[in-house]
Structure 1
Amino acid sequence: MATRDDGAGAWYHRGQVCCTNRKLDEALACYDKALELSPDNPLLWRRKGFALIKAGRYAEATVCFDRALAIDPDDATAWQRRGYALACMGRKEGAVACFDQALARDPEHILAWQSRGWLLGTLCRYDEAAACYETVLRIDPDRGSAAWHRERMRERRDLAALASEVREAERFMEVPACIREVVRERDYGNAELARAVLREMVGQAERPAVQHR
């Protein structure tokens, strides 16, 4: 004889197929049917939340992840996905906290590290973001996307540092247009070279001042 859990499983698998095929309204209806039969199953709440993320319904998704976490507080994937939903709503600090919760429970949760790196990059915390991608590569050295994102974070860090150094240098010297152009055009590839040239020019400008003291 079929049990309620058997019925929930059938609805769950139907929902999975619909979600994979991006029939999101149908998927959500299936997950709701499954949850009617098994309301205390955290996987069902998590999967419904994921479908809501794919549908762009982020606030509703966080409610589902909260339900999942109320049942299983150590579900690292639910924490990661809750963080992603919060990030998409602009609640970035709360999202970082969720990624940290995920990683406290599973230090090798690659999606949590990648999500954390992506979000820290949007907050201009480039060194921390690069470190996240570095951790991904220690876990999975063949993950080329992490290597690519790590380098982009380092380039953005160098460009942000150059912009700051240009502003400081302009207080007492004329910064060449070619260096200012690197900042204006977001020329990441030449940011490190421009910083080296600017540091040399600043050093030359400061030496006469020191000599006349």
Structure 2
Amino acid sequence: MAVTDCNALPRASRFTTVPIAVLAIVLTVPLGGCSFDLGSWGSDKEKPQAVEQKPTGTISGQSVNDAQGNAARGQALAKSGKTEEALAEFERALALDPYNVPALYGRGLIYQADKQHEQAIADFTAANGLTPQRVEPLLARATSYLAIDKAKEAASDLDEAVQADPNSAPAWSARGVTYERLGDKAKAFTSYGRALALRPKDETARSGLARTGG
């Protein structure tokens, strides 16, 4: 899939020309599977954890509900490639509820697509703080760290990600890319091997395994 050069476009069109499926491509190395299903953040299973960590007495129940509605609309718009409109919904959600994890994560992905990696990292960090056992914000933050040449920070996130979910093929594949960039072929080889075992059609892992000694 060809990716439009976002920096060559006016701001109004830059978001809308970047589909959600390519939001987490790092430089020229696709991390494989790093475009996430934003809808998974809206499950009832995740809501109690995020709500419990909010300061009490500062956000009304109605504001939380309204924010959830905005975030859900943002997710739907993002999935259909309408990222400018999605960003507006995520901003509305966060104005009502700064602790809304789907909005933080979704906005982070849009910032990432626009190569605003510092802003993306801030949103992924906030999302990770609210849902520390989720792989997605760690993997997404690592993607932005790699894009701004902070491979050591990316490696730390990916080490944590594979501990949180040892069955995450995208996390293992990204960890291979990161450790290969750091020159640690042994860790890269092991990571690519784990990724390939979990997802045999992962071409990033397959080629990486060959480069690092497979």
TM class by shorter chain equals: 0.5 to 0.7
Pairwise mapping of residues 133-144 of structure 1 onto structure 2 (< 5 A)?
Answer: 133-140=192-199, 143-144=200-201
Segment of structure 1 superposing worse, 38-47 or 95-104: 38-47
SS in 2 for 1:87: helix
The aligned amino acid for 1:69 is: N
Structure 2 unaligned segments of length 5 or more: list them. 1-60
Displacement after TM superposition at 1:61 (Å): 0.4
The aligned amino acid for 2:122 is: V
RMSD of the TM alignment (CA)? 2.4
Q: Give the equivalent residue in structure 1 for 2:136.
A: 77
Contact kept in structure 1, 2:135 and 2:161, CA below 8 Å: yes
Pairing 1:44–2:119 present = no
Q: Give the equivalent residue in structure 2 for 1:91.
A: 150
Q: Give the equivalent residue in structure 2 for 1:10.
A: 69
The aligned amino acid for 1:83 is: A
Contact kept in structure 2, 1:48 and 1:64, CA below 8 Å: yes
The aligned amino acid for 1:54 is: A
Structure 1 pair 22/56, CA: closer, same or farther in 2 (3 Å)?
A: farther
Contact kept in structure 1, 2:70 and 2:93, CA below 8 Å: yes
The aligned amino acid for 1:149 is: T
Q: Which has the higher helix share?
A: 1
Contact kept in structure 1, 2:71 and 2:102, CA below 8 Å: no
Relative contact order, higher structure (CA 8 A, sep 6+): 2
Displacement after TM superposition at 1:33 (Å): 0.6
List per-residue Cα deviations over 1:131-150 (Å, max 9, x = no partner). Answer: 2122123334xx312xx334
Pairwise mapping of residues 133-212 of structure 1 onto structure 2 (< 5 A)?
Answer: 133-140=192-199, 143-145=200-202, 148-157=203-212
SS in 1 for 2:176: helix
List per-residue Cα deviations over 1:103-141 (Å, max 9, x = no partner). Answer: 22222222211211122233343342232122123334x
TM (normalized to structure 2)? 0.63
TM (normalized to structure 1)? 0.63
Contact kept in structure 2, 1:69 and 1:78, CA below 8 Å: yes
Contact kept in structure 2, 1:8 and 1:33, CA below 8 Å: yes
Structure 1 unaligned segments of length 5 or more: list them. 159-191, 193-213
- For 1:48 and 1:110, how far apart are their aligned partners in 2? 24
Identity within the alignment, %: 22
SS in 2 for 1:144: coil
Displacement after TM superposition at 1:154 (Å): 4.1
Which one of the candidate residues 178, 195, 210 is aligned to 1:119? 178
Contact kept in structure 2, 1:83 and 1:95, CA below 8 Å: yes
Aligned pair count? 154
Structure 1 pair 113/151, CA: closer, same or farther in 2 (3 Å)?
A: closer
SS in 2 for 1:112: helix
Q: Give the equivalent residue in structure 2 for 1:108.
A: 167
SS in 2 for 1:107: coil
Displacement after TM superposition at 1:151 (Å): 4.0
Q: Give the equivalent residue in structure 2 for 1:67.
A: 126
